[in-house]
Structure 1
């Protein structure tokens, strides 16, 4: 069975959001992509108070100066498509008021005919937390736990009743309801986060940092699921952040998904062999405009399928 393929939607500063998101979404669906994805970057601190991903000295990409809101982007894509699933990889959940996030996702799922995937993470930017978070950075795990609980409650049957630290719903009718149960998927890279994934989520959103490392993490997740008595399958969508170059990268220091389209497809094949269900390919960063993004997306898809992915 072929690996499902997803594509990131154009959210960065080189794109015209109102024009390019529907255009790329329609093209991706016509090419054959199974899903369309967004990410969240709330702001660009200047000067930076910490490096990218919290790594000292690692600069923030200039494209992050202007990143469109993920839910607005998904709404534009939903209106332009009929089949492709609509996912987030990821929403930084603690930056959102739980009830409002749950209701927005339910409305989007109802409007799209049941195509939403709620991908959540806790994020890493202290500046984003200072600007928008509902709980301090140190309490991000607890905030995510409550957000998942509120989503499940709001998406479930009426009357909705919930009592938490951030949210209190005494007894209320909350609609619209999702067209179907919205899958909750989590970005999780350590044992504590894997426990949350195994106990409370429907799926896992790893990042492609090398096939051996992803395969090792996937083994650990499955072992933990068995230890904790989970019987439901864990859905998997691997995110790959590409650095596409006009020709092959010949250096010994080449990172996964860095180089020509052919090299990117080779890396896709290596990661697909792990056995994950779906791979989300992010090509938007190196494309100059929507036309180039569509052309490269078509080339990657065709070569991936030709390679048996």
Structure 2
């Protein structure tokens, strides 16, 4: 079975969001991409109090200076498409009030005919936490756990009721309901996160750092699932953060998914061989405008399929 391919939607400042998101979403669906994805970044600190991903000295990319709201972006895409699934990779759970986020995702799923995939994470930016989080950074895992609980409650049968640290829902009717159970995807960046993934999520959402690393990570996830007696399979959706260049990257230090169309397709094939179910191709951050994004997305799709993906 061929690996499914998804495409990240345009959210950066080089795009006219209201025009370009529906246009790119329609084009991606026509090309053959089976899913459309968004990420979350809410601010760009100046000066940054910590490095990118919490790594000291690692600069934030300029593309983070302006990132359109993920759920607004997905709503625009939903209105312009019929089949493609609509995913978040990822929403930073502690930046959202759990009840409100659960309701929004349910409404989007109902409106789109059951196409939402909810990827959640805990984030890493202390500045974003200081500006918008519902709890301190040190409690981020507990917030994610409560968000998952609240989602299951809100998406389930009425009357909905819940009592947690952040959320209290008196017995209530809460609608609309999702068109079908919304899949929840989580990363597994620590032993605790891996246990949460196996116990509570439908699938795993890693970021590509190379086929060898993915092979090792995927083996650990499956091993943990077996050890914990999980019976249902773990879905796997890999995020490939590409840095597209029109010309081939000819350095010996080429990172995965950095380079021209042929090199990106080569890396897609290598990662697909690991056995993941789906790969998200993120090229919107390195294309100049919607036309180039559509052109490159089409070329990458064709090259990947020709390479056996």
TM-score by length of 2: 0.99
Aligned to 2:182: 182
Partners of 1:57 and 1:221 in 2: CA distance: 31
Map residues 117-266 of structure 1 onto 2, 5 A cutoff.
Answer: 117-266=117-266
Partners of 1:87 and 1:187 in 2: CA distance: 14
Map residues 265-284 of structure 1 onto 2, 5 A cutoff.
Answer: 265-284=265-284
Partners of 1:188 and 1:162 in 2: CA distance: 27
Partners of 1:105 and 1:79 in 2: CA distance: 15
1:154-199 residue CA offsets vs partner (Å, 9 max, x unmatched): 0000000111000011200000000000000012222211100000
Aligned to 1:65: 65
Q: Which runs of 5+ in 1 are unaligned?
A: none
Aligned to 2:19: 19
TM-score by length of 1: 0.99
1:238-272 residue CA offsets vs partner (Å, 9 max, x unmatched): 00000111211121111111111111111110000
Deviation of 1:46 (Å): 0.9
Query: What SS does the aligned partner of 2:119 have?
Result: strand
1:78-125 residue CA offsets vs partner (Å, 9 max, x unmatched): 000000000000000110000000000000000000000000000000
Q: Are the aligned partners of 1:92 and 1:122 in contact in 2 as well (CA < 8 Å)?
A: yes
What stretches of structure 1 move > 4 A for 4+ residues in a row?
none
Query: What SS does the aligned partner of 1:239 have?
Result: strand
Partners of 2:76 and 2:239 in 1: CA distance: 22
Query: What SS does the aligned partner of 2:94 have?
Result: helix
Aligned to 1:92: 92
Partners of 2:89 and 2:43 in 1: CA distance: 17
Partners of 1:232 and 1:173 in 2: CA distance: 30
Q: Which runs of 5+ in 2 are unaligned?
A: none
Query: What SS does the aligned partner of 1:119 have?
Result: strand
1:262-288 residue CA offsets vs partner (Å, 9 max, x unmatched): 111111100000000000000011110
Figure out how many residues of one structure are paired with residues of the other and give that number: 309
1:36-80 residue CA offsets vs partner (Å, 9 max, x unmatched): 000000111011111111111111111111100000000000000
